[in-house]
Structure 1
Amino acid sequence: MPFAPPADFGILGLAHALGDPKDVAATAADYVDDPDRVLLWGYRTYHRSPDSTTPTALAARAATKALAKAGVDPRDLDLVVVADSSVPDHLLWDASAALAREIGATSSPTLLLTQGCASGVTAFQHIAGTFAVREDVDTVLLVTVNQVSEAHTNRMRSNTLLSSDGAAAAVLRRGHGRLRWLATEQITDPTYNDFYRVEYGAAAAPFPPEGTSNLDVDPLSLVYRHFRREPEHLAKFVRTLNTRVRTVYERACDRADVDPGQVAKFLFLNDNQDSLADIAKAVGVPLERTNAALGADLGHCGGADQLICLDTYLERGDLAEGDVVALAGISIGMHWYCTLLTV
């Protein structure tokens, strides 16, 4: 029998919104003392929202565009899902309800996902579950957003990639045959949950020591500190990062009865160019079938990377009907994840 996913839905409308484009070479020295290190990552452009913009406002821009493309009134949405990989506008506050209010979806239930960069991709599985158990749900809005809070993190020093401001929105419709969901897989290894965290501002450490701030903490130091007595385990961890991407990708393909070699695009995080080359080799796809070239002009938009890239490729006409696209990545947690869609 032909493969049939457990929930039948596709993307009716897809759109994205970005902050203002900034030239990496011209601005790197504003963020780091060693701009040459950043330039070696291979990024040409990143996007920064104006200081007055909030993650909710950026998410609303993408949502409004997607709803217009789909021809859907926000009042007709059955569920609003927000996947936020940013520092939120406020604490003890619900970004999903705030977005629903912002776009006029005032009668829709909402769901907030905050598993870092994983949320925008793994959200498809959560939404599939809703479609499966709620026959009255026909139209769902998924919005994934990332806007760097420069009071909490340095966009050029929080990891080995360059963080950017962007949001993507997808209107999902039951029974829609285009950009149809096939499968989602996830691997979690909680051993490394503390890696890359923001040190101060939450309940465990509300305030930094006097005279310091989060910007004085190198998030990568937690990684190095974890392995300081076992350098061989650090090398093993680095290898594990890529091999688990391959594993979760193969599991998703197996679940959807898809030949990995036939996947038209493998869309990963907008990582640095060396990392994307390593990922392509580990997964076994040609680099040109990844988002490496596009990511260099976007920067890393957190959990929105894959959908922003997908929307861009569709706008360019780079994908054909029937093409299978993989959305994959690694996230704080640690999580490895992959969702398959068919154009």
Structure 2
Amino acid sequence: MRIRDVYVESLGTFVPEPMSVEEAVARGWYPAEDAAAGGWLSATVAGDIEAPEMALRAARQTFERSGLSPGSVGLLLYPDCWHQGPEGWHPQYHLQRQLLMDDALAVELKHGCTGMFSALRLAADHLAARAPGATTGTPGTEGPGDAAALLVTSDNYGTPLLDRWRQSAEFIMGDGACALTLTRRPGFAELVSLTMSTIPEAEELHRCGEPLFPPTVTTGRPLNFASRIDAFKQKVVTEGLGSLALFKIQKTLVDCVGQALEEAGSTLEEVAWVLPNNASKEQTEVGFLAALGLPLSRSTWEYGRTIGHTGAGDQFFSLAHLLSTGRLSAGDHVLMFSVAPGVTVSAAVFKIHSIPDWARP
């Protein structure tokens, strides 16, 4: 999908202090053999700072760095992966109240690690529908509050039903929040293209061996993706089902990336950086980049291994890191992609137009 006239006005993050892998191993939380195999250095740990509080801090930083006021935002999207507070309560309204965004449409998205890509798609459509000359179908809905969208993701995984160090062979979990504002007026970066594809036949990969009812969180059963994925792979061996679904994941990633680059008028050779999910060295190198013919050095893995897999925010933490460390220049293209339960594969290309003042050393 070619995106037109959608710009990143500003970007904010809240990154908690990291806990080193050595400390986690010494405390008996992380098996030494897993630590050696994964290549991780640390994971950010927020302690008892609530996910919505981290989201609020990242959002406030975003507004401090932009020329926007919260009142100019017509859409607030809050993708998250883990529980945010009391069951039945919705965190996006906490931000809406604290930021005085009374007139915005506020929506929480449950779309796993690809949640920010889903939010980009919805926000781009929202802004396009309110462009000059666009027909929304609802007379009188256009106004100053439609000029921008705020996207925020935040998670704190330090809870009894999730073990951040043993969640999967492919990742350890890191806490944090990031936020960005999108507008139709030129900003420091432009969303040029976005593609998303779902592989329904791989849906069982992240639930295999678990009941659908009652929901496991209501029974106090911890989340463990490693055991579910192992159960699915065993089912492939014993029943001969699902092997094509596993193969299709990598093929779909290649197709999504190719389409995003083609629609952006760019190539892999022209991309300055590749920003994938934060994953183990093997998963990043073999599961993601090898299919694209890219070396590990072209990706942000070296940074990702210091914060862990944050859920939906990995690519935008990496973007903020590249900006603040002087590794991007005006004219650069960056490629982001994500693979998430569903299985959903997403890819996006951004063009950097300028380096914002807040990112300069």
**Fold conserved (TM > 0.5)?**
yes
1:253 lines up with 2:261 in the alignment: yes
CA distance in 2, matches of 1:60, 1:206: 26
My pick for the range that moved more, 131-140 or 166-175, is: 131-140
Amino acid at match of 1:196: H
| Cα separation, partners in 2 of 1:201 and 1:240, compared to 1, 3 Å | closer
Given that 2:3 and 2:194 are in contact with CA atoms closer than 8 Å, whether structure 1 keeps it comes out as no
1:235 shift after superposition? 6.3
Equivalent residue number for residue 284 of structure 2? 276
Equivalent residue number for residue 227 of structure 2? 221
| Cα separation, partners in 2 of 1:202 and 1:309, compared to 1, 3 Å | farther
Equivalent residue number for residue 306 of structure 1? 315
Equivalent residue number for residue 136 of structure 2? none
1:181 shift after superposition? 0.8
Equivalent residue number for residue 7 of structure 1? 4
> Which string of whole-angstrom CA distances, capped at 9 and with x for unpartnered residues, describes residues 192-241 of structure 1?
33443596998534643xxxx423x6432222323424327676655443
Amino acid at match of 2:107: L
Q: Choose the corresponding residue for 2:24, options 24, 27, 31.
A: 27
> Which string of whole-angstrom CA distances, capped at 9 and with x for unpartnered residues, describes residues 139-159 of structure 1?
111112222142221111222
Equivalent residue number for residue 327 of structure 1? 336
Q: Choose the corresponding residue for 1:125, options 121, 126, 142.
A: 121
Amino acid at match of 2:180: A
1:187 lines up with 2:197 in the alignment: yes
Given that 2:275 and 2:337 are in contact with CA atoms closer than 8 Å, whether structure 1 keeps it comes out as yes
TM-score by length of 1: 0.89
Aligned pairs, how many? 334
My pick for the range that moved more, 326-335 or 68-77, is: 68-77
Equivalent residue number for residue 299 of structure 2? 290
> Which string of whole-angstrom CA distances, capped at 9 and with x for unpartnered residues, describes residues 45-88 of structure 1?
1111122x211111111111111001322233222111112223
Amino acid at match of 2:70: P
Q: Alignment identity in percent?
A: 20
| Cα separation, partners in 2 of 1:164 and 1:80, compared to 1, 3 Å | same
Counterparts in 2 of 1:1-343, with a 5 A limit? 5-28=2-25, 30=27, 32=29, 34-51=31-48, 53-135=49-131, 136=142, 137-159=146-168, 160-196=170-206, 204-205=215-216, 207-208=218-219, 213-215=220-222, 218-231=224-237, 238-278=246-286, 279-343=288-352
> Which string of whole-angstrom CA distances, capped at 9 and with x for unpartnered residues, describes residues 84-110 of structure 1?
122231322222222222333233221
| Cα separation, partners in 2 of 1:126 and 1:20, compared to 1, 3 Å | same
Given that 1:87 and 1:149 are in contact with CA atoms closer than 8 Å, whether structure 2 keeps it comes out as no
Given that 2:203 and 2:341 are in contact with CA atoms closer than 8 Å, whether structure 1 keeps it comes out as yes
CA distance in 1, matches of 2:236, 2:284: 26
What is the DSSP-based 3-state SS (H/G/I as helix, E as strand, rest coil) of the residue aligned with 2:234?
Answer: coil
CA distance in 2, matches of 1:19, 1:36: 26
1:271 shift after superposition? 0.6
* Structure 1 unpaired stretches of 5+: none
My pick for the range that moved more, 231-240 or 74-83, is: 231-240
Amino acid at match of 2:261: C
| Cα separation, partners in 2 of 1:151 and 1:223, compared to 1, 3 Å | same
1:15 shift after superposition? 1.6
1:30 shift after superposition? 4.1
1:315 shift after superposition? 0.9
Amino acid at match of 1:14: L
